Structure 1
Amino acid sequence: MAPPSDGTPRTPKSGAPHRARRRGRSFLGWVIVVCLCLAVILSLVPDALGPLNGSLRLSQRLPFSQVIALRSPLAFGFAVLGLVVGAAALVRRARRTGGRRMAVLAVVLLLVAGAHTGALAHRGLDSGQVVTAADPAVIDSAAWDGTVRILTFNTLQGRADRSRLAADIDDAGAQVVVLPETGADEGRELADLLSRDGLPYAVHSSASGGGRSAGEEAAGDSGAAESEGTDDAVAPTTVLISPILGEYEEDRPVDDIGHGAVLLRPAGDVTTPAGYVRPTLLGVHTIAPLPGTMEDWSRTVTAAARQCAPETLVPGTIVAGDFNATLDHAPLKDLGGCADAGTQSGIGGLATWPTASRTDLLGATLDHILVDESVWTASAGRVLSISGSDHRGVLVELRQAQ
């Protein structure tokens, strides 16, 4: 390089500012990666910061509660993203242009995807189970063997294929059928279809008033009018029960449990002469977690789960329906004296919503059957696809030790 025309030697440009800028960019890059990694890890433990401040329980905050519900899509998305980021990191390392930060992010994404998948597998992904049907000719309560087959299914305002639903109930020999978003008339029509095949059922609905809570009466039917994907008022909850379990009477739920709850208690003796405990049944449908209804959602899911608290749990209780929440949401993490029958039977990781995913391996498990674990054990279960609804049905077989 030629010296300046005035003969003054050129001072070499110092590399210190350049190195400082590089270190600054590198530090900022690591900060971003660490923040991304923490955000991904929080999807596994969304309420980890809850003890510091109740408002930091992300599983009850919009939009985190909605994201957390979709555990299987999260696992799939993190796995795909981890592979893409990992491949990009390998390319950068091969070109000696860095890639360490991308490699760290890829490893965290893949580990968290594996953890989500492991959690779902632990709850159960066995969709091929067979639930042995009871003899439809046996309806005498004296012949009851202590087994309860229960199906819960949100019919989407009664739009589900009623003939197919009746066939599935018949095939399964379900003695209890919990139908959120199903009016009393639809319930009676379904019972009529079943009676033609020799399967009589008593019909109980929150629309009759007996199953409505005090909170619901105060709010009125329009207070819970927001539904998933519709502006129409949400239909009540209806429960069908077979005479093999004996006679039942409606009672009023203590708590406000959303769009309609049906509480059924055994009429007469709770324990049969053979020593079996007759179930106390509660059909529920909580408020959906939508903008403007988050507090109602949290309150109603908590109220449904409270039926399993040791101080309030009635022996033999079964709580079933559309909880609009998964076991990853704070209100359902502690089930007290109950167990999730889906998890017990090996189907608790399968998605019950939405059916638009075309597979029960992708979606959210919003429909549950919670049982008093001191009395009931789920021996088998299935997730059913019935046309006309955005939910899948959950069928489990419950047994009790004599």
Structure 2
Amino acid sequence: MRRPVTWAWTCSAVLVACAAVLFAAPLAGFERWPVIAAALPARAALGVLFAVALVVVAVLLARRTWRPRVGVPVAVALAVASALLLPVVLARGVVDEPVAAPAPGQLRVLEWNTNTDLTSPDVVARLAAAQRADVVILPEVALRSGSAYRRAFTAAGVSLMRVNRHSSTTQVAVWMAPRLARHYSSVPGPDPVKTVELTTTTPGLPTLLALHAPWPVGERLAGWDEDVDWVASQCAAGAAAGRPVLVAGDFNASTDDFGGPSLGGCTDAATLRHSAGVGTWSTHVPTLLAMPIDHVLLTPSAGAVTSFTVLTSEDGSGTRHRPTMAVITPGP
């Protein structure tokens, strides 16, 4: 009997320690460490997993399938782990609000990682038309797909122009309504394939950053870190100068990886709308279990977030990411 008891206490201690590390990482400043950075977006899924496991262990104890000396330490550890993870997710908000109705002066931003060609341009164009999008950001499409998207937008009755063409290998595509596109020029970010900066000298319009950060594991961690630092520095500079900055894309990170709801001088739009617990990846699991890794961030001078919505209507489209729709009302 001694060996099972020892195993139970050891596993329980490891479980509580892991949950405590994930809980403390954003608070203590080690949220970008290897393994931790990749695990943090799974906070909700892990919390639910621990809660379900707790119910199973409780049933086994009630039926006397497990002896208390073995089952009780495991049950306590699962309860502690769930309590460390799930309340944070619930506090951030898990109810997805509807997209705000169109109104004059809005900036309507649709962001969708379509995983290259897992969703056709026609599907994207129909969604852009339905949401009356002014800006469409696609973090992972080949440049050669531009003509297909142009035809699809035209067929859907959407007038959008591609505004970034600085490299033949660029994967991030940004489309804008012509009234906006004519004011912007494009320069590459730190990764010319997966980051882009759209600059403007027109007062009131935000600098726009679009990106597809690498998954923060192994050798990719350094590139991910560089992309996150780039966004943080641009946001900080914009906020300090009172210049509006808007960031959108697939960060492969939750706000935990930012150390909080803000990055530099930008704040997460989902956090502002109390829906930061709604997951965007993967479409194969419910939003409560999915990872919230697609974001829109903005400086205060970029305006107020009227709504931020993770769209579940496209879960059957073939992609692994859910699109997000942010409606921004510029300030006076």
TM-score, normalised via structure 2 length: 0.84
Q: CA deviation at 1:297?
A: 2.0
- CA distance 1:192–1:335, change in 2 (3 Å): same
Q: CA deviation at 1:89?
A: 4.4
| Residue of structure 1 equivalent to 2:99 | 130
CA RMSD between the two structures: 3.2
Q: Judge conservation of contact 2:301–2:331 (CA < 8 Å) in 1.
A: no
- CA distance 1:29–1:238, change in 2 (3 Å): closer
- CA distance 1:29–1:78, change in 2 (3 Å): closer
Q: Which has the larger radius of gyration?
A: 1
| Residue of structure 2 equivalent to 1:60 | 33
Which among 297, 321, 325 is matched to residue 391 of structure 1?
321
Q: Which one-letter code corresponds to 1:262 in the other structure?
A: V
Q: Judge conservation of contact 1:71–1:116 (CA < 8 Å) in 2.
A: yes
C-alpha distance in structure 2 between counterparts of 1:35 and 1:88, whole Å: 21
Gaps of 5+ in 1: 1-20, 51-56, 135-144, 213-220, 222-234, 271-276
TM-score, normalised via structure 1 length: 0.71
C-alpha distance in structure 2 between counterparts of 1:47 and 1:197, whole Å: 43
Q: Which one-letter code corresponds to 2:263 in the other structure?
A: L
C-alpha distance in structure 2 between counterparts of 1:332 and 1:184, whole Å: 34
Residues 1:265 and 2:199 are matched in the alignment: yes
Residues 1:350 and 2:323 are matched in the alignment: no
Q: Say which SS state the counterpart of residue 44 (structure 1) adopts.
A: helix
**How is 1:219-298 mapped onto 2 (pairs within 5 angstroms)?**
236-245=171-180, 247-253=182-188, 255-257=189-191, 259-267=193-201, 269-270=202-203, 277-298=204-225
| Residue of structure 1 equivalent to 2:124 | 165
Q: CA deviation at 1:241?
A: 0.9
Task: Map Cα deviations across residues 342-400 of structure 1 (whole Å, 9 max, x no partner).
Answer: 2223432121112232x222221111100112432211122224313221111011113
Task: Map Cα deviations across residues 295-328 of structure 1 (whole Å, 9 max, x no partner).
Answer: 2222222222332225776621101011111111
- CA distance 1:98–1:105, change in 2 (3 Å): closer
- CA distance 1:372–1:120, change in 2 (3 Å): same
Q: Say which SS state the counterpart of residue 284 (structure 2) adopts.
A: helix
Q: Say which SS state the counterpart of residue 307 (structure 1) adopts.
A: helix
Q: Which one-letter code corresponds to 1:321 in the other structure?
A: G
Residues 1:208 and 2:187 are matched in the alignment: no
Q: CA deviation at 1:287?
A: 1.8
**How is 1:298-337 mapped onto 2 (pairs within 5 angstroms)?**
298-310=225-237, 315-330=243-258, 334-337=262-265
**How is 1:63-74 mapped onto 2 (pairs within 5 angstroms)?**
64-74=36-46
Q: Say which SS state the counterpart of residue 368 (structure 1) adopts.
A: strand
- CA distance 1:167–1:26, change in 2 (3 Å): closer
C-alpha distance in structure 1 between counterparts of 2:47 and 2:68, whole Å: 27
Q: Which one-letter code corresponds to 1:66 in the other structure?
A: A
What fraction of aligned residue pairs are identical, expressed as a percent? Answer: 25
Residues paired across the two proteins, number: 328
C-alpha distance in structure 2 between counterparts of 1:115 and 1:278, whole Å: 41
C-alpha distance in structure 1 between counterparts of 2:175 and 2:240, whole Å: 22
Greater displacement, 150-159 / 323-332: 323-332
- CA distance 1:331–1:248, change in 2 (3 Å): farther
Task: Map Cα deviations across residues 163-186 of structure 1 (whole Å, 9 max, x no partner).
Answer: 121111111111111111123342
C-alpha distance in structure 2 between counterparts of 1:35 and 1:360, whole Å: 28
